[in-house]
């Protein structure tokens, strides 16, 4: 094992295995909490390369995340040089497409035989459990979307906890919102935590580092009472009458980013992912300082954004928080103004009218695609980033520039530091970011689990010691 694991603290003893690792957001957070990432695996080769580079290679470590199927790789495949003297901590987020509302809709559109309940990815939690048991992991943490609580009538986190309990583990699940832990994004996710040695209690969960503005309730927080009816659910921790800072906003997250397209009239430029730009200003707040964690760093890369020529003028006229209904109305007005300026009549010039309308007005239904477009509100945390960003960025339009967000801006919203480099093209990078666990959320969870573990481990040691002394 690496020298990183050579000291005697509990956190350095654990060998952390990341299953379905994606680009490494979950691992990065656990690494930032002081844990050693021993191995990782993901089906996506480019995502595995991104994880390998940022977690290992750039630090001079000769270790590579495997590209492959979790279900078919043994623990010897993941760790050829097994060190059984130190315990294992298994983390992972099985693919969520079968559970998520976007994934369900896409599968349904492909026919009944492609219904989400027929999607094999919906059962990959079993591969996660199998690896936990194969490694005889001392601790395990699984992440997924909130929609996993109802997969064809089955509550997946409850099911995972029940199976693990039958296998000798104590397991519980909860809902955590990334915004509560310093991530400038409203992103609620299920987390299952399990321990082989100790009873999992609410003490294992992190306390928020940030709080919502007064009166703000997230969708997940409104469902807590209902979730409490489940056998294995743990109510997330809260801080009453807290003086914690408010949620970090999208504007606070990216206000120091380079200006790329201030006006819709500006010529579009495609910027390669490795092209460096200077920041537009000094770091303006603590979050920006945290993301610019290298003191000497004064440039940043990853500024590719999509060329949507038809839509730049629409983006420019949208107000923060506007959706597709607003965008469509703006597009129709722009088109009507164009027709008036060039004397194009809908009845007299039918073919020309149709042709020009196709060029200027988005074709999506106003009945079905209300949330397909959304301009980020800079005064609030960003709405949830999704893997669909790999196809288009209409769901995340820049709050004050005439364009969709860039890769680096998406990474900022997800709490990836600016020196985290995506070893891939623009579309793949957006996908990796949308699929990731926010590192800051992962870090808070890892720290709370380790604090809990060390506490109960110490209490158990002292208890056993006291009993032994009494026997003497």
Residue of 96, 161, 339, 382 with catalytic role:
96
* Residue 96: active-site member: yes
CA 120, CA 103: separation in Å to the nearest integer?
Answer: 13
User: Cβ of 465: how many Cβ atoms within 10 Å?
Assistant: 10
- State the helix-helix crossing angle for 350-360 and 324-342, rounded to 10 degrees: 140
Q: Which residues are part of the catalytic machinery? A: 96
């Amino acid at each position: 094992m690496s020298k990183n694991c050579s000291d005697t603290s509990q956190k350095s003893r654990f060998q952390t295995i990341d299953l379905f690792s994606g680009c490494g957001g979950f691992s990065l957070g656990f690494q930032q909490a002081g844990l050693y990432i021993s191995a990782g695996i993901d089906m996506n080769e480019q995502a595995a390369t991104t994880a390998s580079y940022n977690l290992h290679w750039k630090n001079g470590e000769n270790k590579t995340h495997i590209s492959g199927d979790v279900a078919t790789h043994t623990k010897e495949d993941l760790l050829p040089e097994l060190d059984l003297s130190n315990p294992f901590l298994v983390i992972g987020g099985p693919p969520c497409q079968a559970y998520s509302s976007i994934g369900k809709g896409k599968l349904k559109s492909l026919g009944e035989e492609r219904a989400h309940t027929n999607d094999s990815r919906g059962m990959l939690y079993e591969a996660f459990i199998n690896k936990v048991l194969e490694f005889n992991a001392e601790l395990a943490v699984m992440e997924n979307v909130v929609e996993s609580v109802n997969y064809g009538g089955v509550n997946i986190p409850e099911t995972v906890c029940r199976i693990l309990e039958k296998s000798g583990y104590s397991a519980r699940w909860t809902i955590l919102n990334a915004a509560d832990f310093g991530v400038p994004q409203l992103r609620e996710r299920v987390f299952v935590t399990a321990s082989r040695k100790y009873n999992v209690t609410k003490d294992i969960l992190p306390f928020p580092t940030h709080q919502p503005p007064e009166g703000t309730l997230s969708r997940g927080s409104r469902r807590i009472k209902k979730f409490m009816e489940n056998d294995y659910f743990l109510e997330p921790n809260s801080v009453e009458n807290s003086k914690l800072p408010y949620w970090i906003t999208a504007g606070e997250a990216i206000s120091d980013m380079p200006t790329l397209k201030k006006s819709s009239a500006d010529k579009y430029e495609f910027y390669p992912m490795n092209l460096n730009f200077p920041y537009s200003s000094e770091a303006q707040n603590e979050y920006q300082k945290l993301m610019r964690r290298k003191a000497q760093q004064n440039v940043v890369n990853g500024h590719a954004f999509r060329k949507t020529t038809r839509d730049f003028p629409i983006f420019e006229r949208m107000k923060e928080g506007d959706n597709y209904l607003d965008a469509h109305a703006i597009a129709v007005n722009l088109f009507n103004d164009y027709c008036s300026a060039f004397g194009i009549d809908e009845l007299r010039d039918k073919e020309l009218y149709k042709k020009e309308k196709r060029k200027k007005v988005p074709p999506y239904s106003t009945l079905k695609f209300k949330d397909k477009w959304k301009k980020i509100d800079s005064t609030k945390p960003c709405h949830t980033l999704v893997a669909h960003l790999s196809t288009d960025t209409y769901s995340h339009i820049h709050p004050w520039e005439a364009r969709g967000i860039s890769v680096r801006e998406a990474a900022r919203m997800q709490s990836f530091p600016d020196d985290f480099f995506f070893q891939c093209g623009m579309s793949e990078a957006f996908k990796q970011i949308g699929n990731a666990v926010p590192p800051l959320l992962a870090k808070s969870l890892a720290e709370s689990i380790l604090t809990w573990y060390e506490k109960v481990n110490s209490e158990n040691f002292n208890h056993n010691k006291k009993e032994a002394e009494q026997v003497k």
